[in-house]
Amino acid sequence: MAAENQAPRDAKVVSLILRSLGIEECEPKVIIQLLEFAYKYSTEILLDAVLYAEHANRKNVTSVDIKLSLQTKVGRHFVPPPPKQYMNEIAVTVNSRPLLMYEDEILLQVPPAKLALFGLEYSVIKKDSETKRRIY
């Protein structure tokens, strides 16, 4: 609690917002990241609002300028999830295809060496094999 009392006012506000959402604990870096996002987002909104006011030959920024700036940013920063019905249709399409069944006893299909991250060669050892396994 001592560290929280020394935190800046904005960090305390973010912490209270997180608590109101049911998040009781988080790493301090989460609050810092949320503060950075809020600062960057609000700065961009206000700078764009100033540009819109200048374009309208006004010296002062109005709420209309801020609303317009917000509307232009929403599509880039906050993308809504696809509709649930659309996701259900995709799930039905994907799930209608049967899973591949392999006739071998080997259930793990290892990709070819050329597709592996470092080109390492893999070999599958059967359970009843007496060879020792090296773990990296």
Indicate whether 120 belongs to any domain.
Answer: no
Question: Does the residue 79 lie in any domain?
Answer: yes
Residue 49 lies in a domain: yes
- The Cα 33–Cα 35 span in angstroms is 5
- Residue 1's pLDDT is 45
Determine, yes or no, domain membership for 112: no
Alpha-carbon distance of 55 to 61, in angstroms, equals 11
Residue 13 falls within a domain, yes or no?
Answer: yes
Q: What is the model's pTM?
A: 0.53
Reported as a single tens digit per residue, the pLDDT across 31-79 is 999 999 999 999 999 999 999 999 999 999 999 999 999 998 887 777 7
| pLDDT tier for residue 136 given thresholds of 50, 70 and 90 | very low
Q: What is the extent of the structural domain holding 86?
A: 2-96
Q: What is the CATH number of the domain that holds 75?
A: 1.10.20.10
Output phi, psi for 14, to 5 deg: -60, -40
The answer to whether residue 60 is domain-embedded is yes
Q: Residue 83 pLDDT > 90, yes or no?
A: yes
- Give the tokens for residue 121: 């060669």
Residue 37, domain member (yes or no)? yes
Residue 20, pLDDT above cutoff 80: yes
At 118 the pLDDT is 62
Tally of domains within the chain: 1
Greater pLDDT, 14 or 114: 14
Stretch 107-125: mean pLDDT, rounded? 64
For the cut 50, the answer to whether the pLDDT of residue 95 exceeds it is yes
SS3 readout for the chain: CHHHHCCCHHHHHHHHHHHHCCCCCCCHHHHHHHHHHHHHHHHHHHHHHHHHHHHCCCCCCCHHHHHHHHHHHHHHHCCCCCCHHHHHHHHHHHHHCCCCCCCCCCCCCCCCHHHCCCCCCCCCCCCCCCCCCCCC
Backbone angles phi, psi at 9, to 5 degrees: -60, -45
116 assigned to some structural domain: no
- Higher per-residue pLDDT: 55 or 128: 55
**Which pLDDT score, from 0 to 100, does residue 92 have?**
94
